[in-house]
A = this chain, B = another copy of it.
Amino acid sequence: MSLKKPVKVLIADDHELVRDGIRARLEDETNIDIVGDASNGKEAIELISKVNPDLILLDINMPEMNGFETLEQMRKMELKQHVLYLSLYDNKEYVRRAKALGANGYMLKDVSQEEMISTIYNASEGGFWVNTSLDDSLNEPASEMPILTEREQEILTAIAAGKLNKQIAGELNISVRTVESHRSAIRQKTGGGNAASLAKIASDLGLL
C-alpha cells in the first residue's frame, strides 16, 4: 500500500465545517493527499483540471450546482475522475441515482474514520461502494421505487410546491387534463394518495 502513489482527493461540500472534519480525518493518512476543496459543484469542476484529482468526494446537497448535476456535467465534459458521494440522507433513490450516474460510491456522513478511509481507497480503484449500514437498502427487493419521467418529476415538484393543477397547466402551457393524467400516473407509480402524500414523496425523492 505504502509503495503506491497516494490517492489525490478533491473535497466538494458546502459546509466548511464538514470539509475541516474530512481534512482532519485524512491528514494522517499518508496515502491520501487532499489536493483541493470546493464549496459547490461549479467550483469543483473548475478545480478538477487544475489539481487533477483521482477521486472527488462529492456532497449531494449543495447550492449553485448539486452533486448529481455536477457528475452529469463531468460526464458531458468527459472528465473521468472517480466520484464518491457523501450525503446526509439514507435515501434509496439517491443511492440508485448515484449508481445510475456511474459514481463509485455513496457514503453516509455518519461513517467512522476507518470506514471513510477504506471506502475512499476502494472507490478510487473503481466499482461501487456503499456504507455497510446501507447494504440492506441495496439488497432489498429489487423493486426500486419506479422511476418517474422528466415531465412527471417536473409536475410532482410543482405539486409539492403547493401549486394547483390549473396553475401548473398554465405555466407549462398544457391542458389541465394533461396535468391530471401525469398526476395520476405519478400516484400509480409511487403509491401516493392525496396531494399531501405526493409532497412527502417529492421530498423523499430529493426533488426540492
User: A residues touching B (Cβ–Cβ < 8 Å)?
Assistant: 14-25, 88, 109-113, 116, 159-164, 192-200, 203
In-complex Cβ contact of A162 among B24, B159, B192 (8 A) = B192
Which are the 6 A-B pairs with shortest beta-carbon distances?
A162-B197, A21-B21, A24-B24, A199-B199, A195-B196, A195-B195
CB distance from A166 to the nearest CB of B (A): 11
Please report the C-alpha to C-alpha distance between residue A160 and residue B20 in the assembled complex, in whole angstroms.
36
Known: A23-B24, A24-B21. A16 touches B110 (CB 8 A): yes
CB distance from A105 to the nearest CB of B (A): 15
A159 contacts B196, C-beta separation under 8 Å: yes
CB distance from A95 to the nearest CB of B (A): 18
Please report the C-alpha to C-alpha distance between residue A111 and residue B14 in the assembled complex, in whole angstroms.
11
Please report the C-alpha to C-alpha distance between residue A111 and residue B98 in the assembled complex, in whole angstroms.
28
Highest count of chain B CB atoms <10 Å: which of A17, A19, A23, A195? A17
Please report the C-alpha to C-alpha distance between residue A164 and residue B196 in the assembled complex, in whole angstroms.
9
In-complex Cβ contact of A18 among B18, B116, B160, B203 (8 A) = B18
B193 contacts A162, C-beta separation under 8 Å: yes
Residues of chain B within 8 A of A195, CB atoms compared: 194-196, 199
